[in-house]
Amino acid sequence: MATKSQLLRDFTQLSENAYNNVYTAFARSAYLERVRLVPAVSKAFVAEQAHGRKASVEVKGALRIDNLPYRRKEAAGTRSPSRFDDGIHVVLDSLDIYKFELDRPSLQNSFLYRSTVRVAYFKRSKTKWKPHLCIRYDFARSNGAHPIFHAQMENGVPDPAVWAQFADMPEVVDPLDLHTTVRLPTANVVGATALLSLAADHLPLAKFPEVLHAVRQQPLFNADPWRCDCRSLDHGEPPETMLASRWYSMNTRDDMD
C-alpha cells in the first residue's frame, strides 16, 4: 500500500501534468501565430508540496506571452487597423493550492483551497511597456461581502515576485488609475483556465476546441461538480459548474444569434 508521502507525490505530479498539458495545447496554436512564449522556468506550471501546509499541493504558473494578436483574426474582420495590431504582451502568474479531505491525498479527495491568478496585458511604448489591462482572479472566503470567486482590476505594475521571475521584462510605466477594490463575481479561474480565455480571445477560432478539450480531458479538472472549499458559504457546498472551462462550448461558429 502506498504511503501518504507517495500519494502526495503522485498527486503533485498529476496536477503538474494537468496544467502543463493545457499549456502544450495552447502553445501549439500560439506558435502558429508567431507568438513568443517565455515560461519563467523550464515549465509554464510547477507543482510542489505546499510550504508550511500539511498535506497540500500548490501549482505555480509564470508565463510571459509576447506578440499575442490583440484580436483573433475572425473577430478583427474588416475593422479599421488598431494601434495594437502589431501584438500585445501578456504576463500570467498564478498560485493554486489544493488540499484533501481527511488529509488523505488522492484525486477523489482533492479540492481547491485557495487561488490567485493574475493576467496583465501590456502595449509597447518604445523600449517600455504601458499597462493596457490587468485582472486578478481570486478564490477566497466569502466573508466581508466578497463573492467566493471574483475578479479585481489592478494598476498593471508587476509586484516584486513577478519582476524576480522575469528579469528581462521591460520597465512598466503609466500605471492604470482604477478603483481596485471592486470585486466582480466570476466563474472559478485557475492558471490553466486563464490560458483558455486567452485562446478564446486572441488565437484562431478553429483552434479553440483543442485547448478546451485539453482542459476537459484532465481528470483534475473533470470532477463533477468542481470541488473547492466552500465552507464560508451559507450551505457550505460547492456550486455546480463553477470551473471556468464549463462555461464554454465546443461550437466555434461566430455567427450564432
Structure confidence by residue, pLDDT tens digits, 78-105: 555 555 567 999 999 999 999 999 888 9
257 domain-assigned: no
Task: Answer yes or no: is 255 within a domain.
Answer: no
Number of domains in the chain: 1
Q: Per the omega criterion (within 30 degrees of 0), is the bond before 81 cis? A: no
* Residue that has been written with the C-alpha cell 502595449 in this structure: 123
Q: Select from 197, 245, 196 the least CA-distant residue to 220.
A: 245
Q: Is residue 12 one of the residues assigned to a domain? A: yes
Give the pLDDT of residue 255: 54
pLDDT confidence of residue 256 = 44
The answer to whether position 252 is within a domain reads no
* Domain extent for 193: 4-247
121 has pLDDT over 70: yes
Cα pseudo-dihedral 159, 161, 164, 167, rounded to 10: -40
Number of C-alpha atoms within 13 angstroms, CB side, residue 82? Answer: 16
Higher pLDDT, 48 or 74: 48
Average pLDDT, the chain: 89
Span 56-83, average pLDDT: 82
